[in-house]
Structure 1
Amino acid sequence: MKILSFIIIAFVSVLLFSCAAEKEKFTEEQKNYTLPETYNKISQPGLIYVSHISNNFVSVFDPAEMKLIGKIPSGSGADMCLISADGTKGYITNFHSNDITVFDTKTNKTITSVKCAEHPASMLEFPEQKKLLVTHQSGSPVNIINTADNSVTAMGEICTGIMYYIKEHGKIYIPQIFTPYIFILDPVTFHVTKRIETPGRPMAMAFTTDNKFGYLANFDSAEVAKIDIEKDSVILKIKNIPSPRGITVTPDNKYVLVTNVVDNSLTIIDINTDTVIKTLYGLRMPTWVVTTKDGKYAIVSNQGAASLAIIDLAVLEITKSVPTAENPISLFMDNR
């Protein structure tokens, strides 16, 4: 566990150091970032929540106007954000302060901070069970938060990656980031039922709209693996994709978009042929990518440039850059 923790801390430190090296390029507005905590569209669906790993807040982006409109206080090292299914609460994992900020989405005021294991990262809500699962990038087990009383239970499973729930198949998929496996968890017991071996460091997954196939970003092996969800097996490897990290499928099921964090680029894969059709350059440590609900735009977090890149999916080009606070590491699209 100590070795794993060291690797994780070193990996995050490299990312933060790389960004710090560019600090002189940030504007005063970026260094002393100010946004209101209340705004006209507060708690409305369709907003994008931008977590800043070197700060203590999440900023809020309105894709309808293509601008930042507010921010939400958090603990130290805001890593990922999640809005509850009923839209009443939000949750932020705080990588450095080792807790979860719970906030009221109507006011963005903190309700409470829930202590958890070291370096919390991904979250997944099961509203019917009143449970919130939390994985950690520290070798710590999965924590389950009771959303009714905020009590915490530690499970036996050690999972380090981002969680994805495919309800119709009754499976939770978790790429392990630091080991070459995807863990599959039962959504009732939350125990591992299967492991899919995959080369490299599996960073993130995306799924076709019919949930028949998954696409996995494999960082070390420079490839995207296609997975048959029914069989839980790798059926294809799309090669020569340098340093893939973030990944998403467009709502029209036409493209897979892959951020290449070291190569400073975004790879576009045609789902019909499973081949790369275009690579976009001009990004800076792109870590995450989401699409707007209407499928017209993709939003990329440029961790190294402190910005969001806007991609017009009709022409597959970067059309705008929106400055943000330092180190925007992840994006949560509220598609309620």
Structure 2
Amino acid sequence: MTIAVLVVLTGSGFDAAPRWPTRIQVFVANSGSDNVSVYSPRLGKVTATVQVGDYPTGVGAHPAGHRVYVANESSDTVSVIDTRTLAVIATVPVGANPYGVAATRTHAYVTNFGSHDVTVIDTTTNAPVATIPVGRSPHSAVASPDGSRVYVTNNGGDSVTVINTSTNTPVATIPVGIFPAGIAISFDGKLLYVANTGSNTITVIDTADNGPSATAEVGSAPLGVAVTRGGRVHVANTRSDTVSVLGPTGQPLDVVQVQRMPEGAAAAFDDSHVDVTNTGSDTVSVIDAKTGKPAAPFAVGAQPEGVVVTS
């Protein structure tokens, strides 16, 4: 397998970047420039900029890696990007102010912040097929590894809605902290991690009984969450310009300094790195998932928010 190493600025204080498999791509939704930056770790540069709808925020990937779904908050649509051609192949109408996206093999689930529901999109036809009522102001979503459940944070309801994907109905509501935003799930599907922006905490949820099992303090205004295959949880703290690194049960491990206003976070499937969008500096920080050391950030479009890594 061909590998490459990102160039690090002399005297920058960053560690050398991790090694990268050839087919990894990082998709970054730039809310301020209405586009998506596509970054190739192997080449060490942004290889494409894809124009999407108005104010793109959340971004999610199909489990097979051939499609990326971008929530356009101000145009009430989702742009579907083919990851091979890097072209928008469909624009799907959804609810009011879509923000987050989670995809299973058959459907994409879009959180509509303004209409308090979730639009379900058929991933074969790219057509909306259902609308699911959830809690107030749904923010982000994540699918279980087997695709049987989708978990939605309700930013205005201080809760998480659990959706059964075989029936597309809510089956549970889990209380969490204040203003829950980002959400991530462990690779084995046993633990959920919810960033509570208003209480500066992470809620750890046991998916076996949908009960909160732990609460951990993090930095100021946590938003994005990503968990590696090895179980390290990375939390983007927007107001403290840091990433908190936690163990699987919420135990503190490290704090990584990044650039201004980190917001989104995504972990690579191969456990090599975590990418964090810095909304205030129009960059993405790259953190080695094993050592916790940051490599040199790369520049993207204006006000990057959502990020996803595909292969």
TM-score, structure 2 normalization: 0.84
Q: Residues 161-182 of structure 1, C-alpha deviation per residue, up to 9 Å, x if partnerless?
A: 2222225593221111222101
SS of corresponding position for 2:285: strand
Using the TM superposition, give the Cα deviation of residue 127 of structure 1 relative to its aligned residue in structure 2, in angstroms. 3.2
Equivalent residues, number: 288
- Conserved? CA contact 2:219–2:242, under 8 Å: no
Whether the 8 Å CA contact 1:139–1:158 is kept in 2: the answer is no
Partner in structure 2 of residue 311 of structure 1: 287
2:241 paired residue number: 264
Q: Which letter maps to 2:308?
A: F
More strand by share: 2
Residue 158 of structure 2, aligned match among 173, 176, 180: 180
Match in the other structure for 1:284: 260
Residues 131-185 of structure 1 show CA distances to partners (whole Å, capped at 9, x for unaligned) of 3322111134322233444433452413512222225593221111222101111
Q: Say whether 1:78 aligns with 2:56.
A: yes
CA 153–309 in structure 1, closer or farther in 2 if over 3 Å, else same: same
Q: In 1, Cα distance between the equivalents of 2:58 and 2:180?
A: 18
Aligned residues: CA RMSD: 2.3
Mapping of residues 93-112 of structure 1, within 5 Å:
93-112=71-90
TM-aligned CA deviation for residue 198 of structure 1: 1.4
In structure 2, the CA distance between the partners of 1:293 and 1:233, relative to structure 1 (3 Å rule), is: same
Conserved? CA contact 2:103–2:143, under 8 Å:
no
Q: Distance in 2 between matches of 1:167 and 1:269?
A: 21
Matched, 1:294 2:270: yes
The higher radius of gyration belongs to: 1
Residue type of the partner of 1:207?
A: I
Alpha-carbon separation, structure 2, partners of 1:295 and 1:106: 23
| Superposition pairs of residues 116-195 of structure 1, within 5 angstroms | 116-128=94-106, 131-158=107-134, 160-168=138-146, 170-195=148-173
State the 1:55 CA deviation: 1.9
CA separation in 2, counterparts of 1:249 and 1:83?
A: 16
Secondary structure, counterpart of 2:139 in structure 1: coil
Shift of 1:280: 1.8
Q: What TM-score results when the alignment is normalised by the length of structure 1? A: 0.78
> In structure 2, what is the Cα distance between the partners aligned to 1:298 and 1:275?
19
Check 1:88–1:208 CA distance in 2 against 1; reply closer, same or farther (3 A cut). closer
What percentage of residue pairs aligned between the two structures are identical? 19
Tell me which residue corresponds to 2:221: 243
Q: 1 or 2, which has the higher helix percentage?
A: 1
Partner of 1:323: 299
**Structure 2 portions without partners, runs of 5+:** 1-21
Gaps of 5+ in 1: 1-43
Query: Which region of structure 1 is more displaced relative to structure 2, 172-181 or 90-99?
Result: 90-99
CA contact (8 A) 1:85 1:127 kept: yes
SS of the equivalent of 2:140 reads coil
Q: Residue by residue, what CA displacement relative to the aligned partner does 1:35-75 show, whole Å, maximum 9, x if unpaired?
A: xxxxxxxxx85211000112221110112333211121211
Paired position in structure 1 for 2:18: none
**Match of 1:211, SS?**
coil
